[in-house]
Amino acid sequence: MNWDDTAPSTAEETADVPADRLVAADADGEENAVEAALRPKDLDEFVGQERVREQLDLVLKAARARGATADHVLLSGAPGLGKTTLSMIIAAEMGAPIRITSGPAIQHAGDLAAILSSLQEGEVLFLDEIHRMSRPAEEMLYMAMEDFRVDVIVGKGPGATAIPLELPPFTLVGATTRAGLLPPPLRDRFGFTGHMEFYAPVELERVIRRSAGLLDVEIEPEGAAEIAGRSRGTPRIANRLLRRVRDYAQVKADGVITREVAAQALGVYEVDARGLDRLDRAVLTALLKLFGGGPVGLSTLAVAVGEERETVEEVAEPFLVREGLLARTPRGRIATPAAWAHLGLVPPQQAGGSGQRGLFEA
């Protein structure tokens, strides 16, 4: 059993399992249950993404009016913006069941054929990280999306035979964080493509107030604004920070989330006023203190902070670049003037240095 994914369900399964693993599995299950409870159930409840919601609403209403299955939908955007939630809303709006899987789980055409052949008419198939699906599975998906048919190959070599398998009409909802990696033939088969944008602070405040109500947490408008300002434009992060601030308020305060309580709680969890966490600050600190603001190569920067190259590139860099604190150049990563100001440091040349790399306190 994979203890990272599933908590044990029987006494026999838990008999020889270390207690710390059981606690971790239970905690993960509780967090997932809370996240599921906070998901909006229909488009009217969904906050933000006004353009995508309006367009998607038209697609679904038209399909219902025709009594037809909705067109295939592709949702792209950064993690945590609501792609999975929208897929569930699509199924709910169409009154259809939903099947959830992911690209990395489909490495062979047979894996996809097994899923497709078991779909019911009108069912929604949500395929997360669709750009990570294997090429043979992608090619099978072309025909399934367009003609609702797949060819199952039986046998090998000259004696192999393709058996056509008819599929019931279904709706594929694909989600991707890297739309550019999708091959054009696959991308073109989606009837609707929606790009998810980062949320404005005022939208995140609405998300936080709604979640606080569902969690039965008393929160002041200023407290919601404080959390929203540190949530990196992402509802998933906003809800996660809200739960941690709730814990702090219950233990250290009177249970009410004010601006002061939110700021103190997020300080404990190392999330600063601009939303930077421990890794973000470690990257900036290394870039400024060890390399004088750059340029420095990504691999060198990753070694300096004790993280994998992919972690720095995919987790920390996108937010730092979007905030204007770091820039990617052909020569390497460099810090912007805003990065020096945010950490309270002065660039060497402004401190009267001769251009050598060093640290100068503001």
**What's the CA gap between 228 and 235, in Å, rounded?**
9
* Maximal CA-CA distance, the chain: 79
Residue of 171, 176, 177, 234 marked active site:
177
Q: Which residue is catalytic, options 69, 84, 171, 258?
A: 84
328 is in an annotated binding site: yes
Does 358 appear as a known binding residue?
A: no
Tell me if 181 is assigned to a ligand binding site.
no
- Per the structure block, which two tokens stand in for 17? 């399992």
85 carries a ligand binding annotation = yes
SS3 314: helix
In the set 53, 69, 83, 171, the catalytic residue is 83
Give catalytic status of residue 83 as yes or no: yes
Residue 29, marked binder: no
Do 142 and 109 touch, CB atoms closer than 8 A? no
Contact 264, 244 (CB under 8 A): no
Flag whether 311 is marked binding: no
DSSP-derived pairing of the beta strands 73-76 and 171-176:
parallel
Decide if 236 is catalytic. Answer: yes
Catalytic residue among 53, 187, 232, 236: 236
Residue 39 marked as a ligand binder? yes
Concerning whether 336 is annotated as a catalytic residue, the answer is: no
236 in a labelled binding site: yes
Name the active-site residue from 128, 187, 232, 281: 128
Q: Check the annotation: does 333 bind a ligand.
A: yes
CB-based contacts of 125, cutoff 8 Å, min separation 6: 98, 99, 101, 115, 116, 119, 170, 171, 172, 173
Q: Do 174 and 127 form a contact (C-beta atoms < 8 A)?
A: yes
Question: 128 catalytic, yes or no?
Answer: yes
What residue numbers does the annotated binding site for Mg(2+) cover? Answer: 84
Binding-site residue positions for ATP: 38-39, 80, 83-85, 146-148, 189, 199, 236
State the binding site for DNA: 309, 328, 333
Question: Binding-site residues, please?
Answer: 38-39, 80, 83-85, 146-148, 189, 199, 236, 309, 328, 333
- Catalytic residue set: 83-84, 128, 177, 236
